[in-house]
Amino acid sequence: MQSKNILICPLDWGIGHATRCIPIIRMLLGANMNVIIAADGRPYALLEKEFPDLEMIRFPGYNVTYPESNGMTLMMIRQTPQMLSGIMKEHRTLRQIINKKQIDLVISDGRFGLWSKNIPCVYLTHQLMVKFPGAFTMFEPLFYHWHCRVIKHYTECWIPDFHGHLNLSGDLSHKYKAPSNAYFVGALSRFSKNPSKNSNAEKYGLLVMLSGPEPQRTIFEELVIDQLMNLPKLNTLILQGKSEETTDRQLADHIRIISHLSTNNMNEALLSAEMILARPGYSTIMDLVTLSKRAILVPTPGQTEQEYLADKVMSEKIFYCEKQQDFNLERALLEVEKDYNGYGIQIPDNQVILNRVKGLLKV
């Protein structure tokens, strides 16, 4: 394929938007594309470490803050003017980047303003609709229609899921009709069941995979560590999800804590662990399904998407879930043994995304 300049832009809310861009970047590099990454915060640090030879651009997000407890919806509503201002600003910034870097295609994950009338632009999302709590559910159809109007600005919308009954996102991408420019491209994961033939990864009874925005990431980390101290026989690895740091220390004889691992090393660590403890972020669920791992999932309080996904996988007997305010690790480890065996489906290795890129670039 003739080399083209492709801009990859993940949202900076957690690192899930960035991690699922990794397999896309790999596909593009394998097809001789020139990839430029535009990101900020932890996504920037993560992708810079994963692809040290690629050009990186600082591209700020919407600078949204999160509460220490429930009340996520009200806080997000209060920050709507700030987000709208951020969308307009990133749209203007994109025009400058396109002209300066001679961009041929933009692929953005979760960023509303990265579309252009001059070149093809792709919007990646697994949430055509957003789950609202309690009395706020009346706003779900309104957001869906607004979201569809945003999506129509883009050349294509890619949904990282499967079309039909057997899917991962449930209502988030299947309750309402998908826009006419939307395509289901299958699950996206940076991991593989066979990353290395000569893995020497240490075996762990539990691998804790922390992620998400602060302060909830730290609150959950402290809760988990406190409970692990009472389980001295459980050999545990804690991955903090801090791609900007280089921590690696033994917290106790049975607890090792690492700020960040490369994709290959994390892949091997996940495969070597008997059980995973994580947030039910959508990217995490795609990773767990790809690796056929068993897991305990604890949604971020007030984050309705994670709460919905937790209820979905729990009711389908796929993963065991508990609320953070009631979380008891010892109990969860017993409950997960009863009847929670993962998805048990094979993720196809397809070329859907690469074929879509070829079509958009007309090569």
Distance CA 299, CA 311 (A): 10
3-class DSSP state for residue 307?
helix
pLDDT band at 69 (very low <50, low <70, confident <90, very high): low
pLDDT at 229: 96
**Residue 280 above 60 pLDDT?**
yes
> pLDDT at position 76, please?
63
Encode pLDDT of 118-131 as tens digits. 999 999 999 999 89
- Residue 60: cis peptide before it, omega within 30 degrees of 0: no
Q: What is the pLDDT of residue 188?
A: 93
DSSP 150-189: HHTTSSEEEESS-SSSS-SSTHHHHSSPPPTTEEE-----
Supply the pLDDT for residue 213. Answer: 79
pLDDT score of 349: 61
**Other C-beta atoms within 10 Å of 235: how many?**
18
Find out whether 137 and 129 touch, Cβ atoms under 8 Å.
no
Model confidence at 348, pLDDT cuts 50, 70, 90, reads: low
Tokens representing residue 53 in the block: 């030879």
Q: Which domains does the chain have, with CATH numbers?
A: 5-188+348-361 (3.40.50.2000), 206-339 (3.40.50.2000)
pLDDT in tens, 297-342: 999 998 889 999 999 999 999 999 999 999 999 999 999 988 877 7
